[in-house]
Every structure is written in C-alpha cells, then in structure tokens.
Amino acid sequence: MKTLFLKDMRYRRARVVLTALGITVLISLILLLGGIMNGMRIQARQYVESTGADVWISAEGSGGAFIGFSMVVEEYMAFLNSGPGLAPDSASPLVFAQARPSVRGKSTKAIVVGYKLGQLGGPNHAIEGKMFTPSNFEDYRPEDPVPYEVVIDEKMGLEIGEQITLSNEKVRVVGKAKSLMFVLDTPLLFMDVRIAQKLLLGNTPHVNMMIAKTDTNEQPQQIAAGLDALETIEARTLKQTLTDIIAYYVDEPMKAVQFLRVMLWLAAGILIGMITYVTMLEKTQEIGVLKAIGGSNGYVMGLLLKQVVLISVVGVVLGLILSYVFAAAAPIFVAINFVESIIVVCISFVVCCGSGYLAARKAIAVDPMIAFRGEI
C-alpha cells in the first residue's frame, strides 16, 4: 500500500496543511529578506556604475565617497584635470546629498545629485521632457543665476511642470530620467551642481566628491593609489567604491536581518521537527501497533519520512512561489536571486527533513508493548 502515508496525511489534513503553511511562510520570509538585501545591493551599485567614472575622490578622513562627511574644494578640479593618468577634462564635481523635499505637500526622502551637465555624474538626456538648464560652472556666483530645475526619477510619479520644495525653494520638474533608485527605493533628483550647492551646501564652493575617468592605457588602481597618497583627499577605484558602498549601506545595517534569516531557518527546522514530534506523540499507539503486528523500524520510519519529505517539499516549493508573488507586490525593490533561492530551498529542505528525521527516530523507539494498552 504505497498510499498508506497519504491516507494518514489526509486523515490529519488540518495539521498537515498548517505545517506546510508554516514552512511556506518561513521560507518565503527567508527568501524575501534575501531579496530585499539583494535589491539594496543592486540599487547601491546602479547609480555608481551608471556614472561611468573609474576614480572617486573624497575628502581626507571621509572613508571614501558616499561613506563619511566629505567636502572637497573645487580647486582640485584643475589639479585633477592637469594631472597624469586621467582622461582629459574628465574630472567632474559631484554633490550627492540626502534631502527631504516636499512633494505634493508631503515630506519625502530623496537624494540630490548635483553635477555638471555633459560631464560624469548623471544623465545627459532626459527620457521625457528636457534636462535642467546648465549653469556657467566656472562662474561660482553668476550674476544671472540659472532657474531651479530638476530632473526626477521616472518612477517618482510626478508630472513635468510640477514643483517640489527643497530647502524652502520651489524647484520645477523639467524632465524625467531612467530610474536609478538608490538603496531602499530612494529616488535621485538630478540638478545643476550650482543649484545643489546653493540649496543644500549653504552656497559654498564645495562639492561632496569628484569623479573622473582614467586614460584608457592606465590602471585605475594605480591612479587611485597615487591620488590617495595626497594628504587632503582620498581616492578609490570604482571597485573599491562599490565594495565600500555595499558594506556601508547594505551589509552592515543588514547584519541583524542576516541573523534573522538564520533564525528563520532554525525556526523552520524547529517548526517541522516540533510538529512532526507532536504528531508522532499522538501516533505512538499506532506506531506501537504497527510494530507489534510486525512492522520493522525501517517500515515505520519509511511511513513517517515520506510524510516529512512531502510536507517539506510542498512547504518549501510553495514558499518559493509565494516569495516571488510577495516580491512583485512589495512596496520596495526586492530582487530574489534565482540561484540563491534554489540554494535556500535546498538548505531549507534539508533542515526540515533533518529535524523531521530526528523526531521520527525518536518516535520509532516506541515500545510495541504499548499496543496492549490505551486507545488509538
């Protein structure tokens, strides 16, 4: 009777369904947490990579671009552009600052990216509308200031011509750029570097960092190391910057989440182990009878393990499917990595089966003498 274990499961279907659902929820949570972290990593990288810069320069002691407080004076621009190893005139100033603009009367998180149009740091073309009006960058305090204009992320949901308030000033939306959300779906607001300095840096002639491209013949590591040796600045390659930014914005703050993922794994294992064990306790009489009428430990173990494996497979596969459904509906960017999810599913399956096996092993130690007592 190959279906004996299925008949037992159907008889105890409420418990079976609850166990499988418990595993489903835990597995989908594990995968979703991984997907959130993965999404944060992707978002941390995408703007940095989109700039096309090879070298990132920040103030000495800042710990690198995007990490600590960094204010660099613009005079370095001339120095960098005349220095060896960098592509001619590629050094670009960059303001990268967190802000709380008021959008449709509601305070919203955003990151202002102030850069020089046509240079590294932001898009050169809007996918809708137009780019902001560029300032005469060389003139720090132009007599004829440029209008306050911003190019927003296409996913912000604002229309061209709308205004947002930033540092008590009205800034008009003139265009939309391809979505490049930063960590945790923080939209980027692209504007002229002079406007960004005025609105966010107290109208000082500083920027947060400078970025540049190396000559095609040069190794970015060597150029960055050479610049880093200077006393007043820190320089990093793209690779180092990505490592720093992911560590700073994702890995370190998400340590607790990683811990939680491990805990969830343990919870999934304990859940199935516990429910299997409780179910076994309920079935000790049955197990005793099966043993008394000649069922070997292997026979009884086979019945129990088939149930454990089936519940684990159903729970884990449903968890996998559900995680993708939840990811699509999540209010933040969740990127579940398929290979990682398969690994998670396999490990979870092993954890569930392992704990179920331990519970089943305990259960088959039942003395068949129990068949002479009590009721099923």
H-type alpha helices, 51-179 = 76-82
Shortest distance, CB of residue 342 to other proteins, whole angstroms?
35
Q: Does 67 bind other proteins (CB under 8 A)?
A: no
Q: Which is nearer to other proteins, 194 or 291 (CB)?
A: 291
Q: Does 368 bind other proteins (CB under 8 A)?
A: yes
Shortest distance, CB of residue 43 to other proteins, whole angstroms?
52
For residue 314, give every residue at least 6 positions away whose Cβ sits within 8 Å of its Cβ, in sequence order, or none. 20, 23, 24
On whether the CB atoms of residues 175 and 128 are closer than 8 A, the answer is yes
Q: Which is nearer to other proteins, 63 or 368 (CB)?
A: 368
Pairing of strands 92-99, 110-115: antiparallel
Shortest distance, CB of residue 2 to other proteins, whole angstroms?
7
Q: Does 371 bind other proteins (CB under 8 A)?
A: yes
> Interaction with other proteins in 197-216: which residues (CB under 8 A)?
none
Shortest distance, CB of residue 290 to other proteins, whole angstroms?
7
> Interaction with other proteins in 288-307: which residues (CB under 8 A)?
289-297, 299
Tell me how far apart the alpha carbons of residues 31 and 323 are, in angstroms, rounded to a whole number: 6
Q: Does 42 bind other proteins (CB under 8 A)?
A: no
Tell me how far apart the alpha carbons of residues 152 and 179 are, in angstroms, rounded to a whole number: 9
Shortest distance, CB of residue 296 to other proteins, whole angstroms?
4
- Structural tokens at position 42: 């992707």
Q: Does 222 bind other proteins (CB under 8 A)?
A: no
Q: Which is nearer to other proteins, 146 or 292 (CB)?
A: 292
Residue 181's CB is within 10 A of a number of other CB atoms, namely 21
In the numeric block, the tokens 């595993």 are attached to 23
Give the H or E element holding residue 347: helix 338-363
Tell me how far apart the alpha carbons of residues 19 and 183 are, in angstroms, rounded to a whole number: 35
Q: Which is nearer to other proteins, 42 or 310 (CB)?
A: 310
Task: Give CA torsion, residues 170, 176, 177, 178, to 10 deg.
Answer: 140
Query: For residue 296, which of 245, 349, 366, 232 has the smallest C-alpha distance?
Result: 366
Window of 56-64, 102-110, 345-353, 364-372 that interacts with other proteins by CB under 8 A: 364-372
In the numeric block, the tokens 């960017």 are attached to 333
Q: Does 259 bind other proteins (CB under 8 A)?
A: no
In the numeric block, the tokens 């205004």 are attached to 163
Q: Does 369 bind other proteins (CB under 8 A)?
A: yes
Window of 21-29, 101-109, 274-282, 365-373 that interacts with other proteins by CB under 8 A: 365-373
> Which residue type occupies 267?
A
- Structural tokens at position 308: 């454990």
Residues binding other proteins: what is the number (CB under 8 A)?
A: 27
Site string for other proteins, 1-40 (x = CB under 8 A): xx-x--xx-xxx----------------------------
Shortest distance, CB of residue 304 to other proteins, whole angstroms?
14
Contact positions vs other proteins (CB under 8 A): 1-2, 4, 7-8, 10-12, 285-286, 289-297, 299, 368-369, 371-372, 374-376
